[in-house]
């Protein structure tokens, strides 16, 4: 597919306001994408790599502005690009406003007046660019990007720039892609038409909706297991439902972590009759993969990979965990757990300590001397060729105990229907320095990526919120070089499961000068526009924030405001998608 065709289709999708009509346009794009289907399924979400892969393009906005400036001609500088960005508000519009082709004359676009860029070609070049490492790699990245922009028409430049900065902004999120894949390859055209037909009989429409929902559920499961929209789209097209049902976990590829909601012992017992109770360890989530890429009974390649809850590869930062797994496990597994920092007596240390080790890239051995980390596994997703996602909690835990014994490394699971017994368990957990307890529905499966009601977390501490930083203000006087006030937003999921962010307050308290410098360095590359001292930020960073009260307030778009917000820490282990939702804010507001 020509990149120009892709850009034109993306433009149509962006312009379409109605959700079902948007899905239909995307469905048609997928149905005609041919061999470019996997790439197109990622590009529409602003992705080059599937979610399970740790690779990123790693192109900061400044490099992108520089490349656009260079392609725009001799008189244009990166500062001009930034200025235009402040005026137009988004990089796609900026890129489309320059005349890249003009430099070389229209002849450069060939006879049809079109560029020669293809979807596959753009994908190839962006992947090569991501692989560039070492000295001179920034220059090589700039050259490649310049080369791409230089070949773009205005329409193509709009979407290339957005792709490069991973923000497609065409209103297509994971939910829309999932539905479009189902409609393109699994749903009858008649059913797809019936759900869009206002005149259709209710019964016909309902039956069509049920069949479509079932198809969507099939696609959803395959996505949860593989984390790869490109691959799932191709399997749906080439192998249909059976193919999707056969998509299994792959040792070595991270799965999205199952998440928990806040809840009480009464909630748990009322709902399930009995609860599986575990310690809530205060560490960082880690998914352990051991074995080769091939699921089977024998370990073909003794390799350990560790992933964070964002599916980032953190293996190199945690050599003790790697050594532990190598020593203790002799079959391919995928385990879920927490890595905790412990003192010399094995007692848990505060969460902040593990953050000093987790994701560390330098001086790992030196830090290992200072802070000891250990694995606390609480779930087993795969063992010796068996996928266990659909097995109940108790069964998965039993497999875990079979693998590692009833040792410190495995959470101790109490199955109980007695509130008093559970409260004792909790008191013991707190006494031992843990964060609280987890209550799990004993018969529930493992639902990747899902913050459902089957896992409840109970912690007695005052709640904090994990909020996304979506704006900031430059300081004054001595602090003029630093961003000093940060605009916070809560996550809202729309009907398609896509995230948007609604403001809830500003935090400026609790931050030292040293920390401000660090935060400025962290956030500056994410500035998308500036007006006066206020900047808009790409939503990438999550702050943990304390507060005294949540108030209903018209000042912010969430409808709430935080009273006395105070900065606690950057949640480096979280992304905007796992930040706190407005629903949680609403619930906390009601409970106070």
Ligand X SMILES: Nc1ncnc2c1ncn2[C@@H]1O[C@H](COP(=O)(O)OP(=O)(O)OP(=O)(O)O)[C@@H](O)[C@H]1O
Q: Is residue 307 part of the contact set for ligand X (CB under 6 A)?
A: no
Which residue, 195 or 375, has its beta carbon nearer to ligand X? 375
- The distance from CA 261 to its chain's CA centroid, rounded to whole angstroms, is 18
How many residues line the site for ligand X (CB under 6 A)? 15
- Which of 143, 569 has the CB closer to ligand X? 569
Minimum gap (Å) between residue 516 Cβ and ligand X: 24
Distance CA 309, CA 8 (A): 36
Q: Which is nearer to ligand X, 8 or 259 (CB)?
A: 259
How far apart are the C-alpha atoms of 333 and 43, rounded to whole Å? 32
Give kind and range of the element (H or E) at residue 64: helix 61-72
Nearer to ligand X, 244 or 333 (CB): 333
Distance from C-alpha of 475 to C-alpha of 69, rounded to nearest angstrom: 29
Check binding of 285 to ligand X (CB under 6 A). Answer: yes
Minimum separation from the CB atom of position 411 to ligand X (A): 5
Q: Which is nearer to ligand X, 309 or 382 (CB)?
A: 309
Q: Which is nearer to ligand X, 338 or 353 (CB)?
A: 338
Instruction: Find the binder of ligand X among 156, 220, 338, 353 (CB under 6 A).
Output: 338
Q: Mask 546-565, x = binds ligand X (CB under 6 A)?
A: --------------------
Q: Tell whether residue 438 is a contact of ligand X (CB under 6 A).
A: yes
Residue position matching structure tokens 């809850």: 309
Q: Please tell me the distance from the alpha carbon of residue 261 to that of residue 588, in angstroms, as a whole number.
A: 12
Residue 81: closest CA among 483, 520, 528:
528
Radius of gyration of the chain (CA): 25
For the stretch 76-103, what's the b/e string if a residue is b when 16 or more beta carbons lie within 10 angstroms of its beta carbon?
bebebbbebbeeeebbbbbbbbbebbee
Question: Nearer Cβ to ligand X, position 163 or 393?
Answer: 393
Query: Could you say whether residue 491 binds ligand X (CB under 6 A)?
Result: no
Q: How far is the CB of 250 from ligand X (least distance, A)?
A: 22
Query: Which stretch in 23-31, 226-234, 272-280, 496-504 sits in contact with ligand X by CB under 6 A?
Result: 272-280
Cβ at position 276, least distance to ligand X in Å: 10
Would the annotation count 278 as a binding residue?
A: yes
Is 220 assigned to a binding site? no
Shortest spacing between CB 277 and ligand X, in angstroms: 9
Strand partners, 410: 377
Strand partners, 153: none
Residue 281 binding ligand X, by CB under 6 A: yes
C-alpha closest to that of 533 among 471, 472, 474? 474
CA 422, 425, 429, 431 torsion: positive or negative?
Answer: positive
**Encoding tokens for residue 276?**
């599986």
Least Cβ distance, residue 525 to ligand X (angstroms): 25
Q: How far is the CB of 201 from ligand X (least distance, A)?
A: 43
Q: Of 452-481, which residues contact ligand X (CB under 6 A)?
A: 457, 466
DSSP letter for each residue of 332-376:
-EEEEEEEEEE-TTSPBPPHHHHHTTTT--SSHHHHHHH-EEEEE
- x-or-dash pattern for ligand X, window 383-412, by CB under 6 A? ----------------------------x-
Provide the minimum distance between the beta carbon of 459 and ligand X in the complex, in angstroms, as a whole number: 6
Q: How far apart are CA 458 and CA 462, in angstroms?
A: 11
Dihedral angle computed from the Cα positions of residues 519, 520, 524 and 526, in that order, rounded to the nearest 10 degrees? 20
3-state class (DSSP) for residue 465 = strand
Binding flag, residue 522, ligand X (CB under 6 A): no
User: How many Å apart are CA 68 and CA 150, to the nearest integer?
Assistant: 8
Per rule CB under 6 A, is residue 374 in the interface with ligand X? no
Instruction: Please report whether residue 259 would count as binding ligand X according to CB under 6 A.
Output: yes
Q: Which stretch binds ligand X (CB under 6 A): 76-84, 252-260, 266-274, 527-535?
A: 252-260
Q: Given the rule CB under 6 A, which of 45-53, 163-171, 233-241, 277-285 is the region that contacts ligand X?
A: 277-285
For strand 436-440 and strand 414-416, is the pairing parallel, antiparallel, or unpaired?
A: unpaired
Contact region for ligand X (CB under 6 A) — 96-104, 257-265, 341-349, 360-368?
A: 257-265
* Nearest to ligand X of 227, 279 (CB atom): 279
Q: How many CB atoms neighbour CB 53 within 10 A?
A: 16
> SS3 sequence, 254-298?
CCCCCCCEECCHHHHHHHHCCEEEEEECCCEEEEEEECCCCCCCC
The answer on whether 66 is annotated among ligand-binding residues is no
Asked if 486 and 472 count as a contact pair (C-beta separation under 8 A), the reply is yes
Q: With CB under 6 A as the contact rule, which of the stretches 46-54, 178-186, 276-284, 522-530 interacts with ligand X? A: 276-284
280, 440, 506, 574: which one is catalytic?
280
Q: CB 464 → ligand X: shortest distance, Å?
A: 7
Q: Is 349 in the site for ligand X (CB under 6 A)?
A: no
Distance CA 394, CA 413 (A): 8
Active site residue 280: yes
Q: Contact with ligand X (CB under 6 A): which of 65, 272, 307, 378?
A: 378
Residue 260 touching ligand X (CB under 6 A) = yes
Residue with smaller CB distance to ligand X, 457 or 587? 457
Report the C-alpha dihedral over residues 582, 583, 585, 588, rounded to 10 degrees: 180
| Residue 453 to residue 444: CA distance in whole angstroms | 10
Q: Is 457 annotated as a binding residue?
A: yes
The nearest distance, CB 502 to ligand X, in angstroms, is 18
Nearer of residues 24 and 507 to ligand X, judged by Cβ: 507
The span of 19-27, 82-90, 254-262, 559-567 binding ligand X (CB under 6 A) equals 254-262
- Residues near ligand X (CB under 6 A) are 257, 259-260, 278-281, 285, 309, 338, 378, 411, 438, 457, 466
Residues annotated as catalytic are 280
Known binding-site residue numbers for ATP? 278, 285, 309, 338, 378, 451, 457
């Amino acid at each position: 597919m020509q990149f120009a065709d892709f850009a034109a289709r993306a433009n149509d999708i962006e312009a379409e306001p109605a959700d079902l009509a948007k899905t239909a346009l995307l469905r048609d794009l997928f149905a005609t994408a041919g061999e470019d289907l996997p790439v197109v399924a990622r590009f529409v979400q602003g992705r080059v790599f599937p979610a399970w892969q740790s690779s990123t393009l790693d192109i900061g906005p400044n490099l992108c502005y520089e490349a656009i400036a260079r392609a725009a001609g001799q008189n244009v500088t990166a500062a001009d690009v930034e200025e235009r960005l402040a005026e137009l508000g988004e990089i796609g519009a900026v890129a489309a406003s320059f005349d890249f082709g003009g430099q070389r004359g229209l002849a450069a676009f060939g006879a049809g007046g079109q560029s020669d860029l293809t979807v596959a070609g753009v994908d190839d070049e962006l992947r090569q660019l991501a692989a560039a490492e070492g000295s001179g790699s920034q220059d090589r990245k700039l050259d490649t990007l310049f080369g791409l922009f230089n070949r773009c028409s205005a329409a193509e430049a709009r979407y290339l720039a957005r792709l490069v900065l991973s923000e497609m902004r065409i209103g297509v999120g994971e939910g829309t892609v999932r539905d479009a894949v189902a409609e393109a390859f699994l749903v009858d055209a008649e059913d797809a038409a019936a759900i869009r037909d206002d005149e259709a009989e209710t019964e016909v429409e309902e039956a069509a909706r049920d069949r479509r929902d079932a198809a969507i559920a099939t696609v959803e499961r395959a996505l949860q297991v593989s984390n790869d929209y490109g691959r799932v789209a191709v399997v749906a097209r080439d192998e249909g439902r059976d193919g999707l049902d056969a998509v299994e976990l792959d040792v070595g590829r991270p799965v999205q972590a199952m998440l928990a909601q806040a809840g009480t012992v009464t909630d748990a017992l009322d709902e399930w009759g009995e609860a599986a109770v575990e310690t809530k360890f205060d560490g960082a989530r880690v998914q352990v993969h051991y074995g080769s890429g091939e699921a089977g009974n024998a370990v073909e390649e003794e390799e350990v990979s560790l992933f964070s809850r964002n599916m980032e590869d953190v293996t190199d930062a945690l050599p003790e965990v790697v050594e532990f797994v190598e020593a203790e496990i002799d079959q391919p597994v995928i385990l879920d757990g927490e890595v905790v920092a412990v003192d010399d007596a094995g007692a848990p240390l505060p969460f902040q300590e593990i953050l000093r080790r987790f994701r560390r890239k330098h001086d790992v051995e030196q830090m290992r001397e200072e802070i000891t980390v250990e694995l606390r596994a609480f779930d087993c997703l795969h063992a010796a060729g068996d996928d266990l996602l659909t097995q109940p909690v108790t069964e998965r835990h039993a497999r875990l105990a079979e693998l590692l014994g009833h040792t410190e490394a495995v959470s101790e699971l109490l199955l109980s229907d007695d509130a008093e017994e559970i409260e004792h368990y909790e008191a013991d957990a707190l006494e031992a320095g843990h964060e609280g307890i987890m209550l799990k529905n004993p018969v529930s499966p493992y639902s990747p990526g899902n913050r459902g009601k089957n896992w409840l977390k109970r912690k007695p501490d005052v709640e904090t919120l994990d909020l996304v930083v979506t704006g900031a203000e430059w300081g004054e006087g001595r602090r003029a070089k630093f961003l000093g006030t940060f605009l916070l937003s809560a996550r809202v999921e729309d009907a398609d499961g896509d995230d948007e962010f609604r403001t809830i307050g500003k935090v400026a308290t609790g931050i030292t000068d040293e920390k401000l410098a660090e935060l400025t360095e962290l956030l500056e590359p994410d500035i998308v526009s500036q007006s006066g001292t206020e900047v808009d930020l790409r939503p990438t960073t999550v702050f943990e924030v304390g507060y005294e009260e949540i108030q209903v307030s018209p000042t912010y778009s969430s409808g709430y405001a935080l009273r006395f917000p105070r900065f606690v820490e950057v949640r480096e282990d979280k992304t905007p998608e796992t930040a706190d939702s407005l629903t949680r804010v609403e619930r906390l507001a009601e409970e106070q």
